[in-house]
Amino acid sequence: MKTVIHASLSSGNTLRRIRRNWGLYLLLLPSVVLVLCFAYKPMYGIIIAFKDFKPALGITGSPWADPWYKYFLKFFKSYQFKTTITNTILINLYSLAVNFPLPIIMALLINQMQAKRFKRVFQTITYMPHFISTVVMVGLILIFLSPGSGLLGNIYKLFGMEAPNLMGKAKAFTSIYVWTDAWQHTGWDSIIYIAALSTVDVCLYEAATIDGASKWQKLFYIDIPMLIPTAVILLIMRVGNLMSLGFEKVYLMQNNLNLSASEVIATYVYKIGINSAQYSYSAAINMFNTIINFLLLICVNQISKRVSENSLW
């Protein structure tokens, strides 16, 4: 708000511009009100992480925790601290290693297809799994991997072997999570790279052809360098989210047998907060996570700004 007031003092012109454009502010009103109520008001609520929150007393009325970092300490000391953080980072890193390059490869592949019909069919089909809901996706995983009746079990039976119960193995959890994600989203995530490739000046290819460049050379010296700016931006965003992991799929894939590999910060926050109603504790864990994430994003962005010219802001 400060900037607005400041600007209007410096010139009467600004005030007139605000008044003349009152209609635009009216158009902005619903979204601004909603954001203030449901995004910024909860940010104020974060202070319950430093309080002994009691629903009856409300956020302001609840007493401060003693010491103020009590719930953070509780988390650092809890045996879940190491597990949840390791799992969160591990799943994310694994996912980064697989799901960051795959869409790039697919986009390069699509870009090379000369048969237009085939290209369109290919795109339509590979985008499709993206529209499957998380619940159905996890349902599919359970059905396919069920050793007794699933597709995997049947394949094992073909070779006369007994299928392992993969969903019950903690070791297999991360791989299942990451590769099913790859199955579902690689096609869709490639769209942004296809868009980037479609802006490449055709003259470049023509010049390269005249100079006798092979297709491989065009791929390595034109297509891939052209994707780097887009890739860097997406990489920043992903690394910035390294500590935040979608709750939805992990939670649905969890069971008692794989919990040691599948308990991540988001699911732990949910269980502590919603299931056992330890509001302050849950808020503290969540806040710790958000801050680490935020710092990570700023760092990565800063590094990228120095090293290359790509940055989010």
Q: How far is the CB of 3 from another protein (least distance, A)?
A: 5
For another protein, which stretch binds (CB under 8 A), given 66-74, 80-88, 110-118, 169-177?
110-118
Rounded to 5°, the CA angle 308-311-313 comes to 150
**How many chain residues touch another protein (CB under 8 A)?**
106
For residues 115 and 108, the answer to whether their CB atoms sit within 8 Å is no
Rule CB under 8 A: say whether 163 interacts with another protein.
no
Radius of gyration of the chain (CA): 25
What are the backbone angles phi and psi of residue 245, rounded to the nearest 5°?
A: -130, 135
With CB under 8 A as the contact rule, which of the stretches 60-68, 88-96, 115-123, 170-178 interacts with another protein?
Answer: 115-123
Minimum separation from the CB atom of position 89 to another protein (A): 19
Q: From the CB of 245, what's the least distance to another protein, in Å?
A: 13
Query: Smallest gap, in angstroms, from Cβ of residue 195 to another protein?
Result: 4
> What are the φ and ψ backbone dihedral angles of 246, each rounded to 5 degrees?
-50, 135
Segment 225-284, which members bind another protein (CB under 8 A)? 230, 233, 240, 247-248, 252, 255, 269-270, 273-274, 279, 282-283
Asked if 243 and 265 touch (Cβ cutoff 8 Å), the reply is yes
CA distances from 71 to 83, 84, 192, 223, 267 (A): 18, 16, 42, 51, 18
Euclidean distance between CA atoms 252 and 134, whole angstroms = 8
6: contact with another protein by CB under 8 A: no
Q: Is 220 in the site for another protein (CB under 8 A)?
A: no
Q: Binding to another protein by residue 175, rule CB under 8 A?
A: no
